Amino acid sequence: MSDNIDWAALAKTNYDDIECDPEIYDTREAIIRQNRIVDPKVAQEFAEQPRDEETRKFRSRQQAKYLPKPEWIIKDLVQDGSNIAIYAPSGFLKSFVAIDIALSLATGEQVFGTLPVAKTGGVFYSAGEGQRNVEDKRITAWELAHGFEAFSLPNVWTGASFIVNDDRTIEGDISEICRLVRGNSPIAAFIDTKAIALNGLDEDKSHVASRYFNFLQKLKKETGISTTVTIGHFGKDLSRLERGSSAFRAGFDTIFHIQNLRKDDETGCHTLELHVSKQKDADDGAVFHLKSERVELPDGETSLVLKTMEPEEIQAVKDASGKNISLNMLIQTIRELAPDGEVVPKRDIARSLAAQTNLSVSGAEKQLDRGKGDKFKQCVDKQGLWRLPFAGTQFEPFQDQLDSLVKERGLN
């Protein structure tokens, strides 16, 4: 290898030459890029440190001195280089939260309108669910709400889902990302959703989690993407939180949980709590309160964007949501726990409802008991057991409907 290489210039370009000559890959030039050293002076000092040319993984303590310090790319929320997960039940605006974070990282706009972004770059959003809605409606609404023209954002690419268990498509996706960002530094990849990216793999298995994180590591190493954000679902029992093996929770650096405080039936807008459930290298437990607002699109349709709530708005919503469980909320909860119409223990329902509201489990149980003979009666059969109402009806309990059918068709 030539001694006349301009290490400082090479380090400054960082990831400009992703497709470097295989014969020099993983030598000193590539090591500088992989360690993301972009300051010319620091890179020069790093390059002058003795290093065995056969070394591919390890560094000395002297060399470690020159590595960049971890930094927050979104204040108190997202740390550079981390693997992040956003979890919530269906309908809790997980994708809208992810889109706001993604587009803020691409543009430098404040996340949720209040959280500063310290670093920007190219963003890749793989939408396994509703890609056209993401592209045509949700991102367009965000652009308009933040003063951009529709379909004008730079550094934003959307596409179909990554497929974790297909090596051929992974290589193709990585090559395409490298080509699109050539000369620039990508910052984040969003995987929406984890279940679709796993493509049939059993997410309850720890070896599947290992495969998933190996995929994330490969994606980051070969494209220069520093941060990944994965969108996942809660299980049927909402009180048990995120779905899948505990190895997923262990592997993510940061985990957000979304709690839906209230949905306005007239406007379709939501009020949410974003909980920092895990923050590996900082304090967790932070809570961000968000509200959705409707934005009219150029074609006359509408979509939602998110904003941070004011303190008085937060208190008003908490006061309301902490006192009332709606019938729609109850039916949705039972559907999540028992989609085939089987009986659900009251305690399980109460746990799930408590995870969605500001109620305790016992408080949720008391509301269920008070509503059994009134607003919740269609979810209670003759034996006093909880289950979904009979399909196609609104008020008659499931067991009454079933008994009527049996009698009508002479099936006694």
- How confident is the model at residue 306, as a pLDDT? 95
Q: Can you read off the two tokens belonging to residue 318?
A: 């908490």
What integer pLDDT is reported at residue 199 of this predicted model?
93
Token pair of 52 as six digits: 């065995």
Cα angle 225, 226, 232 (rounded to 5 degrees) comes to 90
Question: What is the rounded CA–CA span in Å between residue 284 and residue 286?
Answer: 6
> Cα–Cα distance between 204 and 79 in angstroms, integer?
27
- Residue pLDDT, tens place only, 64-113: 777 777 788 998 889 999 999 999 988 889 999 999 999 999 999 999 99
What is the pLDDT at residue 26?
41
Predicted pLDDT of residue 31: 53
* Residues in CB range of 201: below 8 A, 6 or more apart: 164, 165, 208, 211
Tokens of 43: 């890179």
At 158 the pLDDT is 96
Residue 15 confidence (pLDDT): 40
pLDDT at 17: 41
pLDDT recorded at residue 270: 86
For residue 296, CA distances in Å to 53, 140, 143 come to 58, 10, 11
Determine contact, residues 159/189, Cβ cutoff 8 Å: no
Q: Using alpha carbons, list the distances in angstroms from residue 228 to 13, 31, 163, 224, 410.
A: 22, 21, 15, 11, 59
Looking from the CA of 123 toward its CB, the CA atoms found within 13 Å total: 22
Res 16: pLDDT:
43
Nearest to 220 by CA among 83, 106, 119, 108: 83
Could you tell me the two tokens for 303? 């979509």
Buried b (16+ CB within 10 A) or exposed e, 257-295: bbbbbbbeeeeeebbbbbbbbbbeeeeeeeebbbbbeeb
Of 274, 189, 249, 267, residue with least CA distance to 223: 189
What are the C-alpha distances in Å from 134 to residues 2, 66, 126? 49, 40, 10
Would you state the pLDDT for residue 27?
A: 45
- Alpha-carbon distance of 206 to 262, in angstroms, equals 35
Residue type, 64: A
Contact 29, 44 (CB under 8 A): no
From the CA atom positions of the chain, what is the Rg in Å?
25
Any idea where the domains of the chain sit in the sequence?
A: 7-64, 72-317, 322-408
| Cα 78 from Cα 252, distance rounded (Å) | 12
Angle at which helix 206-223 crosses helix 167-180, to 10 degrees, equals: 30
72-317 has which fold? Rossmann fold (3.40.50)
pLDDT at position 19, please? 43
Q: Could you tell me the mean pLDDT of each successive run of 10 residues in the chain, 412 residues long?
A: 48 43 44 59 66 66 76 88 92 94 96 93 92 94 96 94 93 93 85 94 94 95 93 75 90 92 77 90 86 94 94 75 75 87 89 80 84 84 83 48 62 57
